[in-house]
């Protein structure tokens, strides 16, 4: 049987038929493309590659790209806490709070001691105006993880929510868990307590907390400046021991 080359086929095809053939071929290609688009007939990105690429997008604030990249992985495996964490982070920054909450709660279920996920979920709850859930989440994190940062964040949110009692209580709890056993003491909870004392308490409380902070970190520029502004003379005798 004799085979014709494509050029020969063009020569053998009547001119009118050639036009009709081209139209039919174009329509077939278009139909195939539409079918591929609708059915998702493409090779999915491997899980590790999707995680790596979406994390890269997050690093450069490309929230939509990150969400689009990791979404198929999340859909295929809802229990993948790392993928859910990336997805929730992206959705939070896109303002899709309900979806972000769902993703971050799934991520936290898979890795309940992850501070970053916890704090991002707290931000979602704050933006949603759910103060009770926000307080519960950060109190639990502070208690379960012995986390100074969780209590300090709770104090900051409470201040934003015009809840001075909770703001002061959370700062005190931060001081209590900052016992120097798990890690070196930090001046941060004392500085926070001093700030709240200046707002809601008394100058005596502010001075006491700053002197405690000075005992922990005498090189802190912020502490030294605030003590000097209160008329204190810096030196070893100014320091007070830590504690609630």
227 and 189 part of one domain? yes
In a domain, 21, yes or no: no
Phi and psi dihedrals of 130, rounded to 5?
A: -95, 80
Task: Please name the residue that has the structure tokens 């104090």.
Answer: 155
Q: Taking CA 134 as the corner, what is the angle to CA 133 and CA 138, rounded to the nearest 5 degrees?
A: 115
CATH number at residue 114: 1.25.40.10
In a domain, 39, yes or no: no
69 and 148 part of one domain? no
In a domain, 179, yes or no: yes
CA-closest candidate to residue 134, choices 110, 155, 165, 113: 155
115 and 145 part of one domain? no
147, 183 Cβ separation under 8 angstroms = no
140 and 122 part of one domain? no
154 and 236 part of one domain? yes
Q: pLDDT truncated to tens, each residue of the chain (244 aa)?
A: 444 444 433 343 444 444 444 444 444 445 544 444 444 455 679 999 999 999 999 999 999 999 999 999 999 999 999 999 999 999 999 999 999 999 999 999 999 999 999 999 999 999 999 999 999 999 999 999 999 999 999 999 999 999 999 999 999 999 999 988 878 899 999 999 999 999 998 889 999 999 999 999 999 999 999 999 999 999 999 999 998 7
Question: What total of structural domains would you count in the chain?
Answer: 2
- Which pTM does this prediction carry? 0.80
CA-closest candidate to residue 148, choices 56, 228, 216: 216
In a domain, 239, yes or no: yes
244 and 140 part of one domain? yes
Domain residue limits at 119? 45-128
In a domain, 30, yes or no: no
193: buried, middle or exposed (CB in 10 Å: 19+, 13-18, 0-12)? buried
114 and 146 part of one domain? no
100 and 154 part of one domain? no
């Amino acid at each position: 049987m004799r085979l014709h080359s494509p050029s020969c086929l063009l020569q053998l095809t009547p001119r009118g038929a050639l036009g009709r053939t081209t139209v039919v071929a174009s329509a077939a290609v278009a139909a195939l493309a539409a079918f591929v688009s609708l059915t998702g007939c493409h090779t999915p990105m491997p899980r590790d590659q999707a995680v790596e690429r979406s994390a890269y997008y997050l690093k450069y604030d490309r929230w939509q790209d990150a969400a689009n990249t990791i979404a198929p992985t999340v859909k295929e495996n809802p229990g993948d806490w790392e993928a859910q964490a990336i997805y929730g982070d992206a959705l939070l920054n896109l303002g899709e709070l309900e979806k972000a909450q769902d993703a971050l709660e799934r991520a936290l279920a898979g890795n309940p001691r992850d501070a970053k996920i916890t704090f991002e979920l707290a931000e979602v709850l704050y933006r949603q105006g759910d103060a009770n859930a926000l307080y519960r989440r950060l109190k639990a994190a502070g208690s379960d993880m012995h986390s100074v940062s969780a209590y300090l964040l709770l104090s900051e949110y409470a201040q934003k929510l015009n809840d001075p009692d909770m703001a002061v209580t959370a700062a005190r709890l931060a001081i209590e868990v900052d016992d120097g056993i798990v890690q070196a003491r930090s001046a941060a909870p004392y500085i926070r307590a001093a700030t709240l004392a200046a707002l809601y308490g008394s100058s005596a409380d502010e001075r006491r907390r700053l002197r405690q902070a000075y005992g922990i970190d005498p090189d802190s520029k912020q502490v030294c400046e605030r003590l000097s502004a209160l008329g204190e003379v810096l030196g070893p005798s100014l320091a007070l021991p830590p504690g609630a």
